């Protein structure tokens, strides 16, 4: 099965000449090469094998379960990619897709295991990643409640009534603490999402570890698209769920209102680069499940990280030379990459990306962070 996956990974057009040109251009990083790269990227996009793309991005309304590596599978087509870890202890999901897709998601997961769903981990609080929390979470049961002496495990400070609520059959929903802040609401206000969708097991340290289905799982906090991104590293399977920090289908989303920043995204990508160990020409090596789109490997990550870094540098230089946001947009600092990552329509356009990078770099916080 891994060969099948590897075939996907290697079926992308990675012509030697394009790679070497990109490396050269990346090293130079100069805007004057953007015409050549734009043409190359356009040709590359046109030449992309349509089957590979389609197979990992099923048609509207369909979900596709794809074995990845170890005991990890990827469920595509439900919104953001969903990672499924299944084994004797039960099922763990990273993200839950859109609410409207929950029935199909549950059907697909049942094919992997009849054991209960114990954990959901949210990589951020965007609706295409947390939309199914309530529908899917309520079908689950926390592992701890199967055993004795676990009373009060989740929230020992709560009173009896609240404990009862938490003891109700339900999966743990793990997320960085700021996600709960945004998904719930201060007293007296209406929460943006129903309580059943809220994370019930938040963390606020840099890292939270759990052990499930015979494997250590590291949940790593990273400020990136928002202030509460989590990356999930399955140590034995050697798979990382990156959330939207890595999204080969578009420019990275930077949700400024939720504390996201371009520097955070780049820090996240740099961190992933240190974690990923490639195994060229033999089976193995770290596999990345991105927030959207097809499975990625170390080379895909390097390419995306380089693209984001080059665009950040260009916009940084434009800001330093005193250009306004409108002038930066008119200068098209992303032009050579637009054939692959750009969009004039949808929820995250190229214009929105450029504006978010500009504002992110112009804010005091980020200029401090970049020093």
When the beta carbons of 53 and 249 are compared against Zn ion, the nearer one is: 249
As a whole number of angstroms, the distance between CA 183 and CA 187 comes to 13
Provide CB contacts within 8 A for 64, sequence distance 6+. Answer: 55, 56, 58, 75, 76, 77
When the beta carbons of 260 and 285 are compared against Zn ion, the nearer one is: 260
Q: Do residues 210 and 186 lie in contact, with contact meaning Cβ atoms separated by under 8 Å? A: no
When the beta carbons of 22 and 179 are compared against Zn ion, the nearer one is: 179
When the beta carbons of 129 and 312 are compared against Zn ion, the nearer one is: 129
Radius of gyration over every alpha carbon of the chain, rounded to an integer in angstroms: 21
Query: How far is it between the farthest Cα atoms of the chain?
Result: 66
When the beta carbons of 226 and 237 are compared against Zn ion, the nearer one is: 226
Asked if 125 is part of the footprint of Zn ion (rule: CB under 5 A), the reply reads no
Asked if 131 is part of the footprint of Zn ion (rule: CB under 5 A), the reply reads no
Rounded least distance, CB 105 to Zn ion, Å:
15
Interface with Zn ion: number of residues (CB under 5 A): 4
Asked if 248 is part of the footprint of Zn ion (rule: CB under 5 A), the reply reads no
Provide CB contacts within 8 A for 47, sequence distance 6+. Answer: 13
Stretch that binds Zn ion, among 112-120, 197-205, 237-245, 344-352 (CB under 5 A): 237-245
Rounded least distance, CB 244 to Zn ion, Å:
4
Q: What is the dihedral of CA 328, 332, 336, 341, to 10 degrees?
A: 90
For Zn ion, the binding residues in 56-115 under the rule CB under 5 A are 80
When the beta carbons of 69 and 242 are compared against Zn ion, the nearer one is: 242
As a whole number of angstroms, the distance between CA 225 and CA 58 comes to 25
Q: What is the helix (H) or strand (E) element at residue 102, kind and residue range? A: helix 102-110
Rounded least distance, CB 126 to Zn ion, Å:
5
Bridge partners of 90? Answer: 87
Stretch that binds Zn ion, among 36-44, 134-142, 243-251, 360-368 (CB under 5 A): 243-251
When the beta carbons of 150 and 347 are compared against Zn ion, the nearer one is: 347
DSSP characters over 245-309: TS-TTSSPP--GGGT--HHHHHHHHHHHHHH----TTSS---EEEESSSS-B-HHHHHHHHHHHH
Binding mask 256-295 for Zn ion (x = CB under 5 A): -----------------------------------x----
Asked if 132 is part of the footprint of Zn ion (rule: CB under 5 A), the reply reads no
Asked if 244 is part of the footprint of Zn ion (rule: CB under 5 A), the reply reads yes
Rounded least distance, CB 255 to Zn ion, Å:
10
Stretch that binds Zn ion, among 32-40, 87-95, 123-131, 147-155 (CB under 5 A): 123-131
As a whole number of angstroms, the distance between CA 275 and CA 261 comes to 21
When the beta carbons of 74 and 143 are compared against Zn ion, the nearer one is: 74
Q: Which residues bind Zn ion (CB under 5 A)?
A: 80, 128, 244, 291
């Amino acid at each position: 099965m891994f060969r099948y996956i590897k075939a996907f990974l290697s079926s992308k057009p990675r012509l030697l000449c394009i790679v070497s040109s990109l490396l050269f251009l990346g090293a130079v990083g100069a805007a004057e090469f953007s015409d050549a790269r734009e043409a190359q990227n356009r040709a590359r996009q046109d030449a992309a094998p349509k089957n590979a793309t389609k197979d990992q991005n099923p048609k509207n309304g369909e979900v596709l379960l794809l074995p990845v590596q170890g005991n990890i599978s990827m469920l595509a087509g439900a919104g953001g990619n969903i990672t499924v870890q299944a084994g004797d202890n039960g099922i763990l999901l990273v993200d839950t897709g859109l609410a409207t897709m929950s029935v199909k998601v549950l059907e697909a997961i049942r094919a992997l295991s009849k054991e209960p769903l114990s954990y959901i981990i949210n990589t951020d609080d965007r609706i295409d990643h947390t939309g199914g929390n309530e529908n899917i979470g309520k079908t689950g049961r926390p592992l701890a409640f199967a055993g004795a002496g676990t009373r009060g495990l989740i929230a020992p400070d709560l009173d009896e009534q609240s404990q009862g609520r938490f003891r109700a059959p339900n999966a743990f929903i793990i997320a960085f603490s700021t996600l709960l802040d945004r998904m719930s609401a201060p007293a007296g206000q209406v929460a943006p999402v129903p309580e059943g969708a809220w994370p019930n097991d938040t963390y606020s340290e840099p890292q939270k570890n759990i052990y499930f289905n015979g494997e250590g799982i590291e949940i790593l906090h990273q400020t990136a698209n928002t202030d509460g991104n989590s990356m999930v590293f399955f140590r034995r399977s050697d798979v990382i769920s990156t959330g939207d920090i890595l999204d080969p289908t578009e420019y990275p989303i930077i949700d400024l209102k939720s504390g996201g920043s371009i520097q955070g995204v780049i820090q996240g990508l740099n961190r992933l680069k240190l974690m990923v160990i490639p195994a060229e020409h033999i089976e193995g090596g770290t596999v990345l499940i991105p927030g959207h789109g097809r499975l990625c490997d170390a080379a895909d990550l390097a390419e995306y990280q380089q693209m984001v870094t080059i665009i950040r540098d260009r916009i940084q230089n434009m800001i330093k030379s005193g250009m306004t946001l409108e002038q930066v947009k008119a200068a098209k600092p992303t032009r050579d990459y637009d054939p692959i990552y750009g969009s004039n329509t949808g929820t995250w356009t190229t214009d929105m990306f450029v504006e978010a990078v500009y504002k992110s770099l112009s804010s005091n916080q980020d200029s401090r962070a970049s020093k």
